[in-house]
Structure 1
Amino acid sequence: KQGVMASPMFKPIGSNSGGVSGEGDNKFDVFYKDLKETEKRDSVLTSKQQIDRLLRPGASYANLNPFEVLQVDPKTPIDEIKKKFRRMSILVHPDKNQDDSERAQKAFDELTKAWRCLENESTRQKCLDIVEEAEAIVTKRTEERKKQLKREGKDTRVDEDDPEKLKRAVYVQTMKLFADMERKRRQQETRDQEERKRKRDLEIEEEEQRKAEKEWQKNFEVMTIPELHL
């Protein structure tokens, strides 16, 4: 079954709720830092820079989160998100970037997919639920770590006490949950395809059987008709 393709910049998504570690953690730190610097420059990004942002290495992972694609806070009102989508879509539209129309089209498609996800109340709520779940996971994990440190008689200060590091932890967890949702969606899609194929194969088999029975009945009737003697 097909799962979410892991970007070279990230380790595969596991089933636990912990953060990315080791070399993958360092690479993610670089990616996250670059991403946030890009967001700060959002108001002055050129068409090329927006296209590069949406198609950069690792973007297939980040683009699972429609809020990241449109660079809006999850709590942003839908009318404001729509305005942001329109501004960004104009910026990367293929007609405006004819010297790089193929990549511009891909970037435009990413923006459109994100907007369609958020303009639908049901799918937008699912995305908001993911963000809330990520915040809850990070909060619980942080509290448990503090309790453990307290039991051990150690300093209870943790990285997440720093607002920026807390934001990063929530970002990482949010991305993991979006990736997990995409993996489940693809698995369900594969199961649905297999079920449709199974039903179609069964229909073909039954149709062939009906044809065979009809042909047999026809031949049987011919064989049993008595010969007429003049």
Structure 2
Amino acid sequence: MSSSLSKDQASTSKESFDDFYTEVKEIEKRDSVLTPTQQIDRLLRPGSTYFNLNPFEVLQIEPDVEVADIKKRYRTLSILVHPDKNPDNQERAQNAFDIVARSWKILENDLTRKKCLDVYEEAKGRTDHMIAEKRKKLKKEGRPMEPILEDDPAKYKHAIYVMVMKLFADMERRRQKLDQRDQEERKRKRETEIEEEERIKADREWQQNFEESRQSRVNSWHDFQSGASKSKKTKKQKHMTGMMVPPKFKPETR
């Protein structure tokens, strides 16, 4: 009987999940045909900075869709929010268009798309681990059969969604931190280069000034030497003038 009950519970749970999934798909289908203004508002709504980190969220598609379907969705959405299609709202339309284009650029590349898919896998793994820890705690407390919030398929999907957003936000923070570190390193390197350039320039100017003033220094030295020589000669003449000079000898006339 217990086994039969478990099967019934599993069947009911699966049916609930299927109903929920169908409802989600209907909502997504409805949202996918929003008017251009509504799509622009969706992409620029409060908190969109974090929502738009997830390219699947931007394009309103599931992570398991084929690239061809992603491209179709991108084209449809990019036309809706294109600035030329929204002449009365061009600035906001351009911002929305850039967000859509950036998301497509991420998902069309195999490497970056895989990184996004890895985020979903990690989010699911972390959510499942969190659920396992909750069950372990309930079992330890003697309440192994007590249901938990994530038993509800909608709550489980929401928990994964929240974890996905958190992981994308963490990735963005790490990217910004690395960018800041890289900018600081480049700034420090550039400052060192500027200091070296200024030192070389100063040395070059000093050498140039030294060479240009060489003849002037030589001339100054010659002038100094010439002046010293004249000074000695003048002093000698003055010295001779001050001495007693004997009279010239005159021969006696007979």
TM-score range, shorter chain: 0.7 to 0.9
Q: Which residue of 2 aligns with 1:204?
A: 194
Residue 217 of structure 1 and its aligned partner are, at CA, apart by: 2.8
Q: Verify: 1:86 aligned to 2:75, yes or no.
A: yes
Q: Cα deviation per residue 1:47-68 (whole Å; 9 max; x = unaligned)?
A: 1111111111111110010000
RCO (CA 8 Å, sep 6+): is it higher in 1 or 2?
1
1:153 aligns with 2:142: yes
Contact kept? 2:32, 2:60, Cα under 8 Å: no
Following superposition, the deviation at residue 129 of structure 1 comes to: 0.8
**2:205 paired residue number:** 215
Q: Please give the root-mean-square deviation of Cα atoms over the aligned residues, in Å.
A: 2.1
Query: Residue by residue, what CA displacement relative to the aligned partner does 1:75-123 show, whole Å, maximum 9, x if unpaired?
Result: 1111110001111111111111112122111111111011001111111
String of CA shifts for 1:175-204, please: whole Å, max 9, x gaps. 000001011111111111111111111111
Partner of 1:41 in structure 2? 30
Q: Which has the larger radius of gyration?
A: 2
Overall identity of the aligned pairs, in %: 59
Matched, 1:140 2:129: yes
Task: Measure the CA separation in 1 of the matches of 2:26 and 2:187.
Answer: 47
CA distance in structure 2 between the aligned counterparts of 1:158 and 1:60, rounded to whole angstroms: 32
Matched with 2:237 is none
> Unaligned regions of 5+ residues in structure 2, if any?
1-23, 227-254
Cα distance change, pair 57–38 in 1 and its aligned pair in 2 (3 A) = farther
Counterpart-to-counterpart distance in 2, 1:138 and 1:183: 21
- Measured in 2, the distance between the counterparts of 1:218 and 1:101 equals 59
> Which runs of no fewer than 5 residues in structure 1 stay unpaired?
1-34
Q: Using the alignment, how far apart are the partners of 2:90 and 2:218 within structure 1?
A: 78
Question: Relative to total residues, which structure has the larger helix share, 1 or 2?
Answer: 2
- Residues 1-230 of structure 1 mapped to structure 2, 5 A cutoff: 39-154=28-143, 155-221=145-211, 227=218
Q: TM-score when scaled to structure 2?
A: 0.72
